[in-house]
Amino acid sequence: MASSNHTFKTREDYKKQKEIDQARKDGLIPAAVDEDGREINPHIPQYMTNAPWYLSTDGPSLKHQRNWKKGLHTQAGEWIPKGQKGHQANKYRKGACENCGAMTHKTKQCVERPRKKGAKLSNAEIAPDEMVQDVVLDYEGKRDRWNGYDAEEYDQVVERYEQVEKYKRERAKAKHLEKLKRRAQREAAGERASSSSSSSSSSDSEGEDEDETKLKETEEAGFGQVKMRIRTTGGGATGSVRNLRIREDTAKYLINLDENSAHYDPKTRAMRGDPNPQKDPKKGFFHGDNLVRGSGEVADFRSLNMHIQEAQEKGQDVHMQAAPSQAEMLHAAFRERKEKLMEENKRRLLEKYGSAAGSKPDEIAGLGQTEAYVEYDRAGHVVKGSQPVVKSRWEEDVFPGNHTSVWGSYWNDGAWGYACCHQIAKNAYCTGRAGIKASKANQEMLLEMQRLEAEKRGGSTGTDKPATGYKPSNTWGESSGHVELDPEKLEEAIIAAKNKQASKVADGAEEKKRKFNVVYDDDTTEEQMEAYRIARERGEDPMKDPKAKNDDGYELV
Asked, for residue 389, whether it belongs to a domain, the answer is no
pLDDT tens column, 155-211:
999 999 999 999 999 999 999 999 999 999 888 887 656 555 555 555 555 556 666
pLDDT higher than 50, residue 343: yes
Angle between helix axes 487-507 and 526-535 (nearest 10 degrees) is 50
**pLDDT score of 173:** 94
Residue 395 covered by a domain: no
In this structure, how many other beta carbons lie within 10 angstroms of the beta carbon of residue 549?
10
- Confirm whether 511 is domain-assigned: no
**Percent helix, strand and coil across the chain, each rounded to 5?**
40, 5, 55
Look at residue 289 and tell me if it is in a domain.
no
Structural domain that includes position 55 = 11-65
User: How many CA atoms lie less than 13 Å away from 379 in the CB half-sphere?
Assistant: 3
**Domain C-terminal end among 411, 436, 457:** 457
What average pLDDT is seen over the chain? 78
Number of Cβ atoms within 10 Å of the Cβ of 62:
16
Q: For 221-253, how does the pLDDT look when each residue is reduced to its tens digit (9 = 90+)?
A: 555 555 555 555 545 545 455 554 555 678 888
- What is the number of H-type helices and E-type strands within the chain? 12, 6
* Domain contains 334: yes
pTM score over 0.75: no
Closest to 351 in 3D by CA, of 341, 339, 363, 343: 343
- CB distance 34 to 61 below 8 Å: yes
User: In this structure, is residue 373 part of a structural domain?
Assistant: no
| 137 class by beta-carbon count within 10 Å (0-12 exposed, 13-18 middle, 19+ buried) | middle
From 346, 379, 412, the end of a domain falls on 346
Between 525 and 511, the more confident residue is 525
Total domains present in the chain? 3
User: What is the CB neighbour count within 10 angstroms for residue 160?
Assistant: 10
CA–centroid distance for 207 within its chain:
69
Per-residue pLDDT of 210-223, as tens digits, reads 666 666 666 655 55
Is 41 contained in some domain? yes
**Per-residue pLDDT tens over the stretch 494-507:** 888 888 877 776 66
Q: What is the Cα–Cα distance from 419 to 412, expressed in whole angstroms?
A: 10
Residues 31, 41 contacting (CB under 8 angstroms) = yes
Residue 120 contacts residue 98 (beta carbons within 8 Å): yes
Mean of pLDDT values over 426-452: 88
Q: What was the pLDDT predicted at 495?
A: 87
What per-residue confidence (pLDDT) applies to 361?
66
Gyration radius of the chain's alpha carbons? 62
What is the signed CA dihedral for 110, 112, 115, 121, rounded to 10 degrees?
A: -50
Most confidently predicted of 99-103, 226-230, 411-415: 99-103
The rounded distance, in Å, linking the Cα atoms of 332 and 337 is 9
CA atoms within 13 A on the CB side of 192: 4
For 270-322, what is each residue's pLDDT tens digit? 998 888 888 887 776 788 888 888 888 888 999 999 999 999 999 989 999 99
Instruction: Decide if 312 is inside a domain.
Output: yes
Q: Which of 457, 474, 494 is the last residue of a domain?
A: 457
CA distances from 540 to 505, 537, 544, 545 (A): 20, 9, 8, 11
